[in-house]
Amino acid sequence: MGRGRQKAKHTKVARELKYFSPDTNYSALERELSAESDRRSGEDPWAEYADKYNTDDEDED
């Protein structure tokens, strides 16, 4: 395939992607965002690892 045809094909695909607007599932988006906010409002998810891997410099003296 020549460069002209290849460029035209890429332009066509890019234009289709640019103007393609799928239907938005607002209920799924709401569930995802609410689950994210629930995680942030809870305790630190890394707390168990912090306790497990915490090294105090005082113990090494």
- pLDDT of 23 > 90? The answer is no
Would 14 be classed as within a structural domain? no
Q: What is the mean pLDDT of residues 5-31?
A: 91
Split at pLDDT 50, 70, 90, the class of 42 is low
Would 43 be classed as within a structural domain? yes
Full-model pTM: 0.34
Q: How many folded domains does the chain comprise? A: 1
The confidence score (pLDDT) of residue 37 equals 66
List b or e across 6-42, with b for residues whose CB sees 16 or more CB atoms inside 10 angstroms.
Answer: eeeeeeeeeeeeeeeeeeeeeeeeeeeeeeeeeeeee
- pLDDT of 27 > 70? The answer is yes
Would 16 be classed as within a structural domain? no
